[in-house]
Amino acid sequence: MGIIWMKVKYLDKRITNFLTFSFLLLLVFALAIAVFTYVYNYFTIDSYDQVLLIFIIFAVITIIIITYAILAVFLAYRKRSVSAFMLLPVRLALKIVIPFTIFITGLLKKDKDAIRSLFIDMNNLLVQSGEKHYKPDRILMLLPHCLQDSKCNHKITGDIANCRECGKCTIGPILGIVREKGVKAVVVTGGTAARNIIIREKPDVILSVACERDLAGGIADVGGIPVIGVVNERPNGPCKDTCVNVRLLGE
């Protein structure tokens, strides 16, 4: 299994956006510290002083933790690996910092997919840092139906083996990998169908192909099951005749 490696320019955009909006989060806490410090210095009532001091300490600790998480993501991004001391802060970034940057990016009407892509990338590095080996029959490959040629009449959402391997889309080559590796592969029509299949199959690890939005949402929803996300390519726009680097699925 592998991770989609994008152009350096796009990777730079991802980490730049992440750092920019992460530091906005730090700025919010820094401003809160400034306000509380001002009040603490100019209000003399003892109870106010104690409460404000607690808030200041809490804000400082929070800033330290968030800064640690941001640095961990940056180092993991640069080194393309997550070391033992970075596991906790990277997990924190995936749970809080990166979702916050996605939220802020949306408010500012910027490109959320850049941050989502970084979220997927960091999640993949975190999963791969465990260096676990999974039995092929315990791996579930989830594929979006938009990988199939839109003009194809053969229904593969029920059984990918119904593919005739005509070469007009990437489902055929993927089917070849499924047979070679012995993994379970299912073509799904949406998030609900994917969740139902995960509940039914109970895999040890999931290899999922989708767009940035669906992958980021799916990784967050799955919870305890490791997910490796591979972003699809959309030469014809979203949700129609998409494709994927098949080589990455076979690694």
Greater model confidence, 209 or 84: 209
CA–CA gap between residue 109 and residue 152 (Å, rounded): 36
| Nearest by Cα to 121 from 92, 83, 90 | 90
Given a cut of 70, whether residue 89 has pLDDT beyond it is: yes
Q: What is the pLDDT of residue 70?
A: 93
CB-side neighbour CA atoms (13 Å) of 96: 15
Q: In terms of Cα–Cα distance, which of 204, 168, 208 is closest to 190?
A: 208
Model confidence pLDDT, tens digit, residues 167-192:
899 999 999 999 988 999 999 988 88
Residues paired with 210 in a beta bridge:
231
Q: Could you tell me if 80 and 125 are in contact, meaning their C-beta atoms sit under 8 angstroms apart? A: yes
Reported pTM: 0.79
127-181 pLDDT per residue, tens = 988 778 889 889 999 999 999 998 999 899 878 988 988 989 999 999 999 998 8
Confidence of residue 246 (pLDDT cuts 50, 70, 90): confident
- Amino acid identity for residue 158 in this structure: G
In the structure, what pLDDT confidence band is assigned to residue 6 with cuts at 50, 70 and 90? very low
Region 57-70: mean pLDDT is 92
- pLDDT for residue 3: 43
Domain residue limits, the chain: 8-128, 132-250
Q: In this predicted structure, what is the pLDDT of residue 45?
A: 63
1: pLDDT strictly greater than 60: no
Burial class (CB in 10 A: 0-12, 13-18, 19+), 50: exposed
Kindly state the tokens that stand for 34. 């400034």
Give the SS3 label for residue 239. Answer: coil
> What rounded mean pLDDT belongs to the chain?
86
Give helix 98-107 / helix 112-129 axis angle, nearest 10°: 170
Q: What are phi and psi of 227, to 5 degrees?
A: -130, 130
Tell me yes or no: is domain 132-250 CATH 2.60.40. Answer: no
Angle, vertex CA 87, rays to CA 82 and CA 89, nearest 5: 110
Q: How far apart are the first and last CA of the chain?
A: 4
